[in-house]
Structure 1
Amino acid sequence: MKYHIPVLLSEVITRFNPQPGNIYIDSTVGHGGHSQELLSKGAIVYGIDADKNNLTITTDRINNPNFHPILGNFKDIKKIWQKYINAPVDGILADLGLSNNQQSQEGRGFSFNDSQSLDMRLDPNTQETSAKDIINSYDETQLYLLFSKIAQEQFALPLAQKIITSRQQSTIKTGKQLADIIHEYYQSRHIRKAIDPATKIFMALRIETNNEFENLNIFLNDSQKIIKTNGIIAIISFHSSEDRIVKNFIKKNNFTTIRFLPTKDEIKTNHLSRSAVLRVYS
């Protein structure tokens, strides 16, 4: 299997500087790339993921008694900590991006080419509202706000209007259907983009479906309650609004912080890292 490549791995590990016996929470463990490196230094890692498929992949991949996989959402980090650890931890990591299998897997709804689904829920067993529900039920104002505020889409209003017109003719059921609607609008205006014009809309829809901004705020506040004095927290974001939430939280609390961006070499070998921002604080 092709595992997801961990973003800004060297920078994360260097700042954590893990020692044998140190305890870390990888709160969005994904395929375990960051966790694996921490474990190689003798650390103890509790890996949390809301995606059952990802957790299965990681559990099969990592055979280490110091690794503790936990199915759960990173917003519940305090409850999970109370249940499994209940002692201050040395470091906490959150990588807010999707793993490559989530982005490309048919039937999850994250992909522009998904001809089966427009789901986007990280955990369909605990989440009621899917991206399909949102795109087919939000009114024009709600879609406009979603596209303009979260996606920061230049053509938020006409895209909202086009989606509503399209769904009146037929329910939008798949990622491919939605992407085609967005592509048709851009083509009709003869507008070319360096990245796929559906990218920002899909990201905003994923964020809305999974309450990611609200969950991030909960996570940031609760992480402070379980970290050791002078412990390190590292957050990797892929969206300017996500990064702004982290940046403002750090500023509000007067934490010591440093920011990292991927190098040109990393972007060349892993294009998914191109929009990543790592903020490390204590």
Structure 2
Amino acid sequence: MSPVEYKKENGLHIIKITGKSRLTPIVRDGEELFSATVQRAQSKAKLTVCINGCWYGLTDSGKADAFVGHDPVPSADTLNEGFALLGTGALHGHSAPNMFYIAQKLDYTWFMGQGDLTKNRGYYTGIGGLCPLVFKGLKYGDGNLYSKELPNAKLTGEPLPAHKPFLTQRNNNRYAALSRLDNRTGRGGIGFTPTADIVVIAQEHGVGSVSFDTFRDTFIKHGCTNACAVDGSDSVFLWYDGGFKFMSAENKDETQTFGIGIRAET
């Protein structure tokens, strides 16, 4: 089995898988707590680590159900912002063209891209609706940053073509919003290195104290040239080493339908 390392650093749970690993999206299509879906998926696929997935909303009936009860909301009432591509070829979710995805081919090659995850790119599995942290070695963050002072440089949006060689950070509005939240906010994400090592990092909501920039830079510190954040706050959960390191809030467990599983391969 590929070597797996776990450590806790500055309140961050960090799992690194060196060598081959398989991306397995976790999808709830029934009416049960998502934690039950995760545990069943983990047992069936022998997943090494599991975290939550993309941002999502609820239908009006889903909101009413979540507000008045403590039972799971039907999966059809959860509106995921992004797609999950299963190994069967099934594609679940909704379009989120401004978000990013992480995907994998059958030969274990990893990819990150912007836009909707589709079936016609040769991907075996994937998960979309994610926030970019670093893409092809370029940091994403709150505002465009450049290596030198440039006239008429755009601080947000698409940089001028002549300025792109000097770009050190690319603005992303979702990232900017997340970076302005309290440092105790829950955070989670997945990244990969040029040698296909996988890094999963999570901070429990209300417990840690790491800024979003530090969260991003921790992926870079561990060699990632591509990394994305998942839905944060009390949506974040982490399953590793036989159980949940921490769980999402009760109302999120009742409404979540997408998660990310990674299995270290033999």
For normalisation by structure 2, the TM-score amounts to 0.27
**TM-score under structure 1 normalisation?**
0.26
Query: Which structure's residues are more often strand, by fraction?
Result: 2
Query: Rg larger in 1 or in 2?
Result: 1
Higher relative contact order (Cα pairs below 8 Å, separated by 6+ residues): 2
